[in-house]
């Protein structure tokens, strides 16, 4: 496990891990939506999920990274607190709370802005080069533009539905608590947008932090422990009714256990892949979630897919393909440069000796 996803791993493995991450997170979104529409508190739900995630990650980390774990210094605790604040307390609470006002599909469409925001922030922070004049740079920019355009199409144009269905298909009356007020709808969109910025910054910080503390599994456990403390404070401030803390619903308990395991596991994979492949690589798989959420929401929540969602998703995948192509071409060029440097060093040594 400690050598999992090392630099010598195949190029395919990190991509498969990110695809699996998006599939699992999509299931968590739809399951959370179902739980919230039945009356559960999102802040308490997030708090309990992070307790599960802390246990799931910390237990194996204690044994697996026992020999390679660096001493825990105060700066690392500070970075862990910041990562928890951005990726857990702010992002998870905003994403979960927005599901009271918007659908899972709409939330996922806005989450597709993560690659664009991450790319822009990485350029600003100089973790990535814009390279506007190069073919690679143009591919990244065009791919980002297509992904954002696809997300906007999903949000702004619903289009006709694929089929009509009876009122009781795949849903129950208790799931129709979604607010139809436009101000609430806008509030939900704003919550997701702020969460996207927070989550993108969280992704960007992972590379520098893992260089300071290379035991990713332990770092993930520390971050979730900080998240438990932070989300606990948030829940105490928000929840006034003691009954909201009780886990009386089987579906709610399932959501907490599933979400806790998934949040812990996917966060670890994101840490590893971000350390190896960079923040842009990790973020650009987010658009795939729309393909997982739409059928899941149709089956379990009775939402009807529309042509706007399909056309927007096609644009998103086209943009994702362009970014993947540009990223792979960039890595090949770096590999060729390293090989040339390696060949040049012995030649220079021979010339100097003669």
pLDDT, one tens digit per residue, over 12-49 is 788 888 889 989 998 888 888 888 888 888 999 999 99
pLDDT of res. 8: 45
For 175-219, what is each residue's pLDDT tens digit?
444 445 667 778 888 899 899 999 999 989 988 898 899 888 899
CB atoms within 10 A of CB 161: 14
pLDDT of res. 319: 81
Name the one residue in this structure whose structure tokens are 């992704």.
203
CB 267, CB 209: distance < 8 Å: no
Q: Cα(40)–Cα(156) distance, rounded to whole angstroms?
A: 30
**What are the angstrom distances between the C-alpha of 296 and each of 26, 107, 159, 188, 299?**
8, 14, 20, 21, 5
pLDDT of res. 130: 67
Residues of the chain with pLDDT under 50: 1-9, 166-179, 347, 349
Name the one residue in this structure whose structure tokens are 């791919």.
143
CB 143, CB 320: distance < 8 Å: yes
CB 134, CB 333: distance < 8 Å: no
Cα 222 vs. chain centroid, distance in angstroms?
19
**What are the angstrom distances between the C-alpha of 37 and each of 69, 87, 246?**
42, 24, 17
pTM assigned to the model:
0.77
- CA nearest neighbour of 83 among 295, 225, 239: 225
pLDDT of res. 296: 82
pLDDT of res. 342: 54
Rg (CA), the chain: 22
The DSSP secondary-structure symbol of 61 reads H
pLDDT of res. 168: 43
CB 22, CB 285: distance < 8 Å: yes
């Amino acid at each position: 496990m400690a050598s999992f996803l090392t630099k010598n791993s195949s190029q395919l493995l990190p991509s498969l891990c990110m695809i699996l991450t998006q599939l699992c997170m999509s299931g968590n979104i739809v399951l959370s939506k179902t739980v919230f529409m039945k009356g559960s508190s999102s802040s308490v739900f997030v708090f309990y999920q992070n307790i599960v995630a802390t246990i799931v990650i910390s237990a194996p980390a204690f044994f697996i990274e026992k020999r390679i774990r660096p001493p825990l210094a105060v700066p690392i605790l500070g970075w862990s607190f910041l990562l928890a604040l951005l990726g857990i307390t702010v992002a998870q609470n905003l994403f979960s709370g927005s599901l009271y006002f918007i659908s899972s599909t709409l939330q996922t469409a806005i989450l597709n802005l993560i690659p664009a925001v991450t790319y822009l922030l990485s350029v600003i922070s100089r973790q990535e080069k814009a390279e506007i004049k190069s073919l690679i740079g143009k591919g990244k920019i065009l791919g980002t533009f297509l992904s954002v355009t696809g997300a906007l199409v999903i949000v702004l144009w619903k289009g006709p539905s694929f089929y009509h269905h009876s009122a009781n298909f795949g849903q129950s009356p208790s799931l129709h608590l979604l607010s139809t007020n436009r101000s609430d709808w806008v509030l939900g969109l704003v919550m997701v947008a702020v969460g996207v910025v927070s989550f993108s910054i969280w992704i960007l910080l992972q590379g520098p932090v893992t260089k300071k503390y290379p035991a990713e599994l332990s770092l993930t456990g520390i971050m979730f422990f900080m998240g438990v403390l932070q989300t606990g404070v948030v829940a105490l401030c928000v929840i006034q009714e003691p009954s909201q803390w009780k886990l009386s619903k089987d579906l709610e308990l399932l959501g907490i256990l599933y979400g806790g395991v998934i949040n812990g596991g996917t966060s670890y994979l994101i840490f590893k892949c971000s350390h190896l492949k960079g923040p842009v690589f990790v973020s650009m798989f987010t658009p795939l979630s729309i393909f997982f959420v739409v059928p899941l929401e149709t089956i379990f929540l009775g939402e009807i897919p529309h042509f706007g969602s399909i056309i927007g998703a096609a644009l998103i995948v086209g943009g994702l393909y362009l970014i993947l192509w540009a990223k792979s071409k960039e890595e090949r060029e770096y590999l060729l440069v390293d090989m040339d440097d390696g060949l040049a060093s012995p030649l220079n040594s021979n010339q100097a000796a003669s």
